[in-house]
Amino acid sequence: MKKLFIHLRKSVKLIIIIALAFLVIIGIMYLLFKPMYAVKLNGEIIGYTDAKKQLTERIDKYMKSGDGNKIAFVEIDTMPEYEICYSKKDIKANEDKVFDTVIATGTPYYKDYAIMLDGEEKAYVATPEEAEKIIADLREKKSTNADSVTYVTKYSSDILEESDVDKVVADLYVEPVVAKPKVTTKVGTVNTSQKLSYSVQPLGISLVRPVSGTITSRFGRRSRGMHTGLDIATSKGTPIVAAASGTVTFAGSKGSYGYLVVVDHGNGIQTYYAHCSAIYVSAGQYVSQGQKISAIGSTGNSTGPHLHLEVRINGVCQNPQNYLY
């Protein structure tokens, strides 16, 4: 019995010694080592992390959404593996390095916007705003292919060359076909006298505005000589209507006037409509007040699309602003 007791005491002491030794070992390991995840790629350790979940989510997000800028997404064939280990405390987690290494093995896809013409890719731009501006500019310029130009989102593993908006517009622009002005047979002569009257003389008829626009040059003397009428600027092709009813006495080309329509309203009163791009009436034709007779242009001696309007009484030029505008 005594021997059994002695043997039991020795066993307890041994267990205590083993337990203490284990605790000492644990303590030493705690002081010198820490639990981490070794990150392996293709069996090779590429770094360490103590935040496996966050690192995994970060990689997944980048694969799905890219960098939020040019890279749309990334295809990665081999994903990293994580293995729990105890590392020396002087070994630091390096999630950024691990992340960059993993991402570098993938294939990035870049996002651009392809400008399409009749289903064919013609150019690439960086943003949808640029693509929409190209289409808007072509429509504003009345390019004949404007309605056929669209854009689509383009994903490519190659970096595509992006074009400047103005260059794309210039490359795609197709000038609209402008119908040749209708020129009718000339009848009679045109009085081109530059005699001016500054007094207000009654017409005996009321006039309506032939066109709406911006007055760019007024009646009277100017540095280059006499200005026999009033210039009203607006866009090319805008309809011009007769200021009053009467008979067309001239409809054709006349020197510096360009394409000119003259309407005689009786009692020596005439109105002139110059620099037209198209003429819709013929000499000898009767027109009603407000009837379309021509279109705004820049023919003859002109610096831009506008109507040169004259009001004459017995051949003498009157200030149109005494009656209109």
Q: Per the domain annotation, does 1 fall within a domain?
A: no
The predicted pLDDT at position 92 comes to 82
Residue 170 in tokens = 């210039």
Residues 41 and 124 in one domain: no
**Average of pLDDT values for 117-123?**
89
- pLDDT value of residue 225: 76
Q: What is the pLDDT of residue 82?
A: 92
User: Structure pTM?
Assistant: 0.47
* 165 within domain boundaries: yes
Does residue 191 sit within a domain? no
95 and 121 share one domain? no
Q: Is residue 198 part of a domain?
A: no
The pLDDT of residue 270 is 95
Cα(241)–Cα(307) distance, rounded to whole angstroms? 11
With beta carbons less than 8 A apart as the criterion, state whether 219 and 229 touch. Answer: yes
What pLDDT sits at residue 118?
85
Tell me the C-alpha to C-alpha distance, in Å, between residue 158 and each of 70, 71, 115, 192. Answer: 12, 11, 17, 67
On the question of pLDDT at 182 being above 60, the answer is no
Report the amino acid identity of residue 34.
K
Are residue 307 and residue 271 in the same domain, yes or no? Answer: yes
Looking at 59, 77, 105, the residue that finishes a domain is: 105
**Statement to judge: residues 247 and 306 lie in one domain:** yes
pLDDT of 241 higher than 90: yes
- CA-CA distance, 322 to 311, in Å (whole number)? 10
Q: What are phi and psi of 257, to 5 degrees?
A: -70, -20
- The CA distance from 103 to 324, in Å, is 74
Least confident of 62-66, 93-97, 190-194, 222-226: 222-226
Q: Which domain holds residue 90?
A: 34-105
Residue that finishes a domain, picked among 90, 105, 120: 105
8 A C-beta contact, residue 134 and residue 168? yes
pLDDT score for 295: 95
Same domain, 265 and 313: yes
134 and 222 inside one domain: no
Instruction: Identify the band that residue 28 occupies on the pLDDT scale cut at 50, 70 and 90.
Output: low
Q: Are residues 115 and 98 in the same domain?
A: no
Q: pLDDT tens across 273-306, in order?
A: 999 999 999 998 999 999 999 999 999 999 899 9
Q: Are residues 237 and 304 in the same domain?
A: yes
Mean pLDDT of all residues belonging to the chain: 86
Instruction: Decide: helix, strand or coil at residue 21.
Output: helix
Residue 276 pairs with which residues in a beta bridge?
Answer: 259
Asked if residues 317 and 262 have their Cβ atoms less than 8 Å apart, the reply is: no
Domain count within the chain: 3
**Mean pLDDT across the stretch 38-66?**
91
Whether residue 292 sits in one domain with residue 218 = yes
Nearest to 147 by CA among 162, 161, 163, 136: 136
**Together in a domain, 80 and 123:** no
Q: What is the CATH number of the domain that holds 240?
A: 2.70.70.10
In a domain, 60, yes or no: yes
Q: Is position 177 within any domain?
A: no
Residues 60 and 135 in one domain: no
Q: Is 42 left (phi over 0), alpha (psi -120 to 50) or beta?
A: left
Residues contacting residue 197 through CB under 8 Å, at least 6 positions apart: 313, 316, 317, 318
300 and 254 both lie in a single domain: yes
> Is residue 201 in a domain?
no
Query: Is pLDDT at 187 greater than 60 in this prediction?
Result: no
Q: Is residue 202 part of a domain?
A: no
More confident residue, 52 or 14: 52
